[in-house]
Structures are given as structure tokens and as C-alpha cells.
Amino acid sequence: MQFSFTAEQEMIRQAARDFAQTELLPGVIERDETQTFPPELVRRMGELGFMGLMVSPEYGGGGMDTISYVLLMEELSKVDASASVIVSVQNSLVNWGIETFGTEEQKQKYLPKLARGEIVGAFCLSEPEAGSDATQQRTTAVRRGDHYILNGTKNWITNAGRAGLYLVIAQTDHSLGSRGISAFIVEREWDGVIVGKKEDKLGIRGSDTHTMIFNDVRVPVENRIGEEGFGFKFAMKTLDGGRIGIAAQALGIASGAFELALRYSTQRKAFGVPIAKHQAIAAKLARMGTEVEAARLMCLRAAEAKDRQQPYGFLASMAKLFASRTAMWVTTEAVQIHGGYGYVKEYHVERLFRDAKITEIYEGTSEVQRIVLSRSLARAEKALLTA
């Protein structure tokens, strides 16, 4: 594993840091309050290359690696986790899913617009009765000659209100269980694509989360991704990479809160000295810094494995499990260190504390990560025993 970054990786980190400080920070409290994220900021993230960071240049993207993506996600998330989830869903679920498994026509048609940020994508897997148990899809896609008729409801869909394109997972043959699920690219303008209720959330309030309803939507066969029946594996493989993005988001939330707590504790005095000099606070800061660094290494380790085309699903799950727990713990301690100031919106740790929670829930809850990990470990043990 490398312990230094290339010039290109440093460049993206600096660009993300500058953008976060100069363009995201000024309005972040207001966006959280009003639950909005202006299209101009999405457009800016497109111009800066963030929306198509890992898409190959052939399709208009930056062609950068997963390590760069982790660096980008950390810097954006330190300031605004609503911005970073837009970037994360776009890059690791939508762009990667289409580039890795789509047809040449699908890539030519959709990737350049996604990579430039001209359209935003959404990933529609979760349903009212299929969250963690993702095989229980009720959404159906029934083949009628050269198209499918898509019907169903999807819940908690990030980017839904602003999206121009949806990756939708649906049952095509109920009798085959998870092998009877398929994936489709659905365009916003098609008849029957309905953006439903907007969620009023605890955290990442600037990001746009809705229910999506698909009502007799006519989807051309050429918009299916992969073979019929490949949809569940498509979703799982795509989420393997997505979990690196969310782990890096959790890392950013944690490191942002840690930096704020460190700064505050060297400035704020109690009993005649900066509070950082009090042993109780100093010990907290030492542990916070250690956990943030451990989370960072785990994110980079998973990213490096993906870049080297080595197995990375279990490393992504480990990174997400650890980084999201770190985000919860570090933000809680950061609020505690800020005392009364930490409990009000003006001091950013209050928002980071609320933003942290979702990282233990979306793209697979911590409980699901433990299922994934325990199965991987069981497989590894079996391989060892039979070697």
C-alpha cells in the first residue's frame, strides 16, 4: 500500500478543499435549514470535474482513480455532507454502474452528460418493504415485445427530485428470487415517472430525498443493464464501490468535526487555561484523532484494492462499518467539547453530528455490513481450511 499521493491525487484534494471552503461553507447552514441545494452548486461541481471523476476520458470524465475519489469525498464531507452524497451517488453508483455493465450505446448516450454534471443520476433499489432485505423487490418490469412496463414505488431515493436519470431495480421473474431481478436506465421525462413525497430528514438536509413512483413506465429493452436476471448482482457489485464513497463521507464528517473540536479547544479557556490542556479533553482529542486516522487508512486501503482490481467488497464494508461508527462517536465528542456552543446551529459540529447518522444506515446499514463481513470471513476460513 502506498503512503504518499500522486500529484494528480493532491490536485483533486486541493481543488475539493478550496471549493468546500469558498463555495460550500458560506451557505451550508442555510441549505441545511431550508433543505435545498442550488442547481448552480451542482453545475459548479460538474465544471470542477467532481461529478464524473472516475469516468474514463473517452466518455467525458476525469479518468481518476478511487483513491482520488476518497480524497474528494473527505474534503467535501468535512464541510457539507449533502454536497458529498450527490457526488457519491453520481460517481460510485450511477456512473460506475453504467460504465462497468452498460452497453456501448448506453455509455455513449448517458455518461458524457452525467460526467459533466448536466444531469444528475439516482439509484432506485430500496422499497417500502425491501430495505436491508433487498431481494424482496415488489417493483415489477413486465416484458412486452421490445419494451418493459415498469410499476412500483421506491423509497428514500437520494437526488430523486433533481435527477434526469434513474437506475431502477425491478423483478422481471418473481419465481427466480434474486436471479429474477433486473436493472434498467429510466429517463425522467418518460410518462409515468413521478417524483413523490420529499423526506424531511434529520441530517444531510440539503440533499434531495424523495419517494419515486413508476406508473406503467414504458422502458425500451435497450435500456436494461446486462442480461435479464442480472439486476441483483448489479446492485450488489455497484454497492460494493458505493460503500467506499460512504465510508469516505463518514471519514470527512468525522475529520471535519475533529478539526473543529481541536481548534475550539485550543481557543476556549476554562479554569484559566485552554480546555485542550485539561486531561479529560486532551484524552478525548487523542482518541478522536487516532480513530479518524484509522478510518482514513481503511478507506484508502479499500480504494487501493479496487484500483488494483483486487477483491474489495469486504474491505469496503469494513471501512464503512468503522468509519460510520467513528463519525457518530467523533461528532458526539466534538459537540461535547463545544459544550453549549456545540448544541446550536451556528457552530458546525451540531450539523455534522446530525449528518453522521445516515452513514450507519444508507448503502447498507451497519448490521448489513456485518452480514457481508461475516460471510466473507466464513468463506476465507473455508478456503484456509481446505487449502
Binding-site ranges for ligand CAA (CB under 6 A): 89, 123, 125-126, 132, 134-135, 157-158, 178-179, 232-233, 236-237, 239-240, 313, 362-364, 368, 371-372
Amino acid at 186: V
Grid cell listed for 121: 443520476
Identify any residues that bridge with 217 across adjacent strands, giving them in sequence order: 150
To ligand CAA, the closest distance from the beta carbon of 338 in angstroms equals: 28
Tell me the C-alpha distance between 371 and 383, whole Å.
18
To ligand CAA, the closest distance from the beta carbon of 84 in angstroms equals: 11
Q: Tell me whether residue 89 or residue 168 sits nearer to ligand CAA (CB atom).
A: 89
335 neighbors 342 (Cβ within 8 angstroms): yes
Q: Tell me whether residue 91 or residue 265 sits nearer to ligand CAA (CB atom).
A: 91
181 neighbors 231 (Cβ within 8 angstroms): yes
To ligand CAA, the closest distance from the beta carbon of 124 in angstroms equals: 8
For the chain, where are the alpha helices, taking DSSP H only? 7-19, 28-34, 39-47, 66-79, 81-88, 96-101, 104-115, 231-267, 279-307, 313-338, 349-356, 366-386
Tell me the C-alpha distance between 313 and 316, whole Å.
5
Angle at 184 between CA 48 and CA 35, to 5 degrees: 50
Of 74, 75, 228, 363, catalytic: 363
Tell me the C-alpha distance between 175 and 319, whole Å.
35
- Give residue 326's Cα distance to chain centre: 16
Q: Tell me whether residue 210 or residue 296 sits nearer to ligand CAA (CB atom).
A: 210
Tell me the C-alpha distance between 384 and 376, whole Å.
12
Q: Tell me whether residue 9 or residue 324 sits nearer to ligand CAA (CB atom).
A: 324
Grid cell listed for 89: 451517488
In this structure, the strands spanning 181-187 and 269-270 are unpaired
To ligand CAA, the closest distance from the beta carbon of 363 in angstroms equals: 4
Tell me the C-alpha distance between 299 and 317, whole Å.
10
Q: Tell me whether residue 9 or residue 207 sits nearer to ligand CAA (CB atom).
A: 207
Tell me the C-alpha distance between 232 and 386, whole Å.
29
To ligand CAA, the closest distance from the beta carbon of 45 in angstroms equals: 16
- Catalytic: 363? yes
Q: Tell me whether residue 236 or residue 262 sits nearer to ligand CAA (CB atom).
A: 236
To ligand CAA, the closest distance from the beta carbon of 155 in angstroms equals: 9
Active site residues: 363
